[in-house]
Structure formats: C-alpha cells, structure tokens
Amino acid sequence: MPIAKTQDPRPNPQDLAPKTLLVTGGAGFIGSNFVRYVLREHPDWTVVNLDKLTYAGNLANLADIEATYGLDAFARNQEPSTKDQQPRYFFVHGDICDRELVDSLFTGSYFSSQHLTPSPQDLRPNSVVNFAAESHVDRSLLDASPFIETNIKGTQVLLDAARTYWLDSSSAKNQELRTNNRFIQISTDEVYGFLGEIGKFTEKSSLLPNSPYAASKAAADMLCRAYHKTYSLPIIITRSSNNYGPYQFPEKLIPLMIRNALNGKELPVYGKGLQVRDWLYVEDNCRAIDLVLQKGRAGEVYNIGGNCEKKNIDVVSLICEILKDLISKNQGPIPNTQDLRPNIQFIKDPRGAAHDFRYALDCSKIEEELGWEPTRDFEKGLEETIEWYLENQDWVESVITGEYQEYYEKVYGRE
Ligand code: NAD
Ligand code: DAU
C-alpha cells in the first residue's frame, strides 16, 4: 500500500488546468450551475456528468447545455477539425455507489461502444468534482439511509476509483491520466455544527455535525482526508454556506417561500425564524470551486461563504417585499393569485435540537490564497433569483411530483 511520504508542494497553476472533469450530481442545483459555468469559462474543457436523477436531479436543469455542448448538437461520426466542433458535455445516468459503472468511466470503456469524438480515451477524467449527495436536512431526519449510502459510500467508491486509475501503477498505464489530478469534495459548513451568536468557523474548527445529513457529509470529509494522508490522493474539500439562485429545488427555504407565496399558500417559518444563515449566490460558489480546482492545494480545506448573515424571518420578509414590488411593476408572467399579502406562519420546528442556530464562515484562507471573494449583493441576487422563478414557474411545477407532495405533508401537513 503506497503511503504518503510528503505533503504535496504548492502546485504551479499552469500545471493544474484540468481538461476532463467527472462532475457527479451535475443535474442538481449547484452541480448544474457549475457545469454551465465551467463549459462557458473553459472552452477546452470537457464535462462528463454522472447523476442518478433522484427527486432533486432534473435533466431540465441542463437542457440548454445539452443543446449547446451535448452529443446531439453535433453530427456524429464526422471528423471535427477544431475543438469547438466537438461535443464537450456527456450525461451518464447512474449511481456513484455503482463501482462497475464508475470504473467504466475512469477506463473510458463506458463510451467505447459509441462512435464518439472525442474518443473514449479522451473522456477519462483527470479530475472529479463530487456534488452528488442527498442534500436536505429535513429529509435526513425522516430517513437517514439514503444519506449514508450516497454521501458516505458513494464518496468512498469515487475515491477508490480515483485512487486506482490515477495512482496505482498497474492501472494508470497512461502517464497523461496521472497528471493534473484533483478530487474536489463539495462539503458544507454544516459539518462544523452549532455556532453561538458570535465568532466564525475556520477550516480548523472541530467537526461537530448535528443532523444525519451533516454527519454523513462530515464522514465523507474524513474519508477524503484519510485518502489524502494514506495514498496522497490529491483531494481538496470545499465547505460552503447556504447557496441560493436559479434551479434550486423548491424544498429549500428560498424557492419554497417563493413558490408558496405565488400560489397563495402559507409561508412556514420554523420556530421564531431567528436562526441565522450566511447566503452565497450560487455563481460565486461556482467561481470559487473552479479556482480551487485550478489553484487550490491538495489536502486542504477551503471555506466558501457569502459574508451575508441573515435571520430566516428577514429573508422571508424580503422575499415578500421583492415579490410584491416585481408584481406591482408587472414584470414577468404574473402568478394566478390575487393576494400577495405575506401569509407567514410560525410553525413548530421540525428539526428540534438538530436545528443549528447560526452558521458563519471565516473565508480568509480562500481570499488570501486564491484571491476569491463573493461579489453578488444579497438583495440584488435575491431579486434576480425571484425573477428567475417568476419566469420559470413551469420548471418549478415540472420538477415537483407526487413524491414532493408526500414529503410536504410529512413535514408541514397538507399542501
Ligand atoms: P441537490 O440536492 O440539488 O442535488 C444533488 C444531485 O445529486 C441531484 O442531481 C441528484 O440526482 C444527485 N444524486 C443524488 N444521489 C446520487 C447518487 N447516488 N449518484 C449520482 N447522483 C446522485 O444538491 P445541491 O444543493 O446542488 O448540493 C450539491 C452539493 O453541495 C451537495 O454535496 C451538498 O451537500 C453541498 N452543499 C449544498 C449547499 C446548498 O446550499 N445547497 C451548501 C453547501 C454544500
Ligand atoms: O449551510 C449549508 C447547507 O445549506 C447545505 O449543506 C444544505 O445542503 C442546504 O440544504 C442548506 O441547509 P439548510 O438547512 O440551512 O437550508 P434550508 O433551505 O433547508 O433552510 C434554511 C433555514 O430556513 C433553516 O434554518 C431552516 C429554515 N426553514 C427552512 C424551510 C425549508 C424554515 O424556516 N422553513 C422552511 O420551510
């Protein structure tokens, strides 16, 4: 068993430009925004998106990407003369826990039966960005099993495959597969647990997760750390605060409140709504992850926060104000509801003691090392997000199924 002897030296950014990414969970909220971001920002990169399409994953999130960069946008079996004449986005429907499938992506054999340009060899990943997860705290309180399976076991399967094909000399026959490797684990500030009224978590803070979701993410972080220490696998962990923006599934605070308000339903605020979250616009997070992928140091953790702490009740009130303004300005398709007076209901907190009161991140490490900072003003970002939801009510209703209604009933009572 190869044992790490030395820490990775500070990498040279030019040597670390990954060209073929295996993105997992790319049909979800942050993943789809990330795929869109990297294909736009890096014209010479290719993305293979492995997603199980759970209730939270939707191909509609990437319909524009498929149409622009996917296989069907290009004539098959022709010899393109330039990179921009060939597909750069490939969707694979599958589970990160499926070792055989994951292996076939690392060897390229998954694509070998198809006549493709680029060749199956060129689709073997030299970097992984692991977004795939069960991501909702409230669901983890109802049933932790899928969280343990995907968030822990799935991460271990990906780590093992990366180790096999990037590090083992018997498998990593081709030198080019063994360079520029990065395994980015997308983690969360929730692994740090409860924060009182003051202070911020740094990357050195203890991991004290309180919900089954947070515990499963912390376990995955520990596995990543162990694979770096034991095998020198070039992993990097990002821990971000609450993201918001387009394509977020309407079980999370902001899109749930927008949808309910548009449909004249109650706005269910847990407890007194005094919990504090640090809001980060999703594209700011994508830019941070992209920087970490190119220039971050292997074995390190980077906090990514929005520097924007808000009480839940203030966020919900602001959503109501912005919606009212937008509707009175008559922008976008107007919902089928006459009354937009906020119907805020304070409900018994379904999270109980698992409800972390406040999160806040010290992001000086990524700011100083990589020159990143959040750029989107919260009010502006929220307004743009609400406009997006107003214009995409069809998308919202299309991602909601009977499963959502059942879930909603369990947590909130009848829809
Ligand atoms: P999401 O729930 O919107 O999307 C998760 C995606 O993973 C879906 O497309 C789903 O189909 C896919 N998936 C689930 N299980 C899978 C499996 N076994 N194999 C393959 N694909 C699978 O999640 P999100 O909000 O986009 O979060 C993405 C990542 O970022 C997660 O790891 C989450 O823990 C982390 N994170 C999220 C936030 C946030 O505010 N949303 C903040 C910090 C960290
Ligand atoms: O902090 C990062 C985390 O942010 C991510 O790791 C998670 O994947 C992501 O879901 C998010 O977790 P939260 O639990 O903070 O997000 P959520 O949108 O579910 O809730 C935000 C806050 O709003 C939280 O304090 C609970 C409260 N809330 C939520 C819902 C859905 C309500 O008051 N009412 C609601 O209906």
User: Ligand 2: which residues within 6 Å by Cβ?
Assistant: 135-137, 188-190, 241-242, 252-253, 256, 268-270, 275, 277, 312, 359
- How far, in Å, CA of 16 to CA of 77, rounded? 31
pTM check: above 0.85: yes
Pocket test for ligand 2, best of 253, 308, 347 (most atoms within 8 A of CB): 253
From the alpha carbon of 271, which atom of ligand 2 is closest? 33
Q: Report the separation in Å between the CA atom of 315 and the middle of ligand 2, taken as the mean of its atom positions.
A: 12
Q: At what angle are helices 99-107 and 155-162 packed, to 10 degrees?
A: 30
Q: Report the separation in Å between the CA atom of 305 and the middle of ligand 2, taken as the mean of its atom positions.
A: 15
Residues labelled as active-site residues: 189-190, 213
From the alpha carbon of 135, which atom of ligand 2 is closest? 8
From first to last of the 415 residues of the chain, give the pLDDT tens digit. Answer: 443 434 444 455 545 555 899 999 999 999 999 999 999 999 999 999 999 999 999 999 999 999 999 988 886 556 665 666 789 999 999 999 999 999 999 999 999 987 777 888 889 999 999 999 999 999 999 999 999 999 999 999 999 999 999 998 776 555 666 678 999 999 999 999 998 888 999 999 999 999 999 999 999 999 999 999 999 999 999 999 999 999 999 999 999 999 999 999 999 999 999 999 999 999 999 999 999 999 999 999 999 999 999 999 999 999 999 999 998 886 555 555 545 667 999 999 999 999 999 999 999 999 999 999 999 999 999 999 999 999 999 999 999 999 999 999 999 987 6
Q: Report the separation in Å between the CA atom of 25 and the middle of ligand 1, taken as the mean of its atom positions.
A: 6
**Cα torsion 129, 143, 102, 69: sign:** negative
Q: Going by CA atoms, what residue is nearest to atom 23 of ligand 2?
A: 253
Q: Report the separation in Å between the CA atom of 24 and the middle of ligand 1, taken as the mean of its atom positions.
A: 9
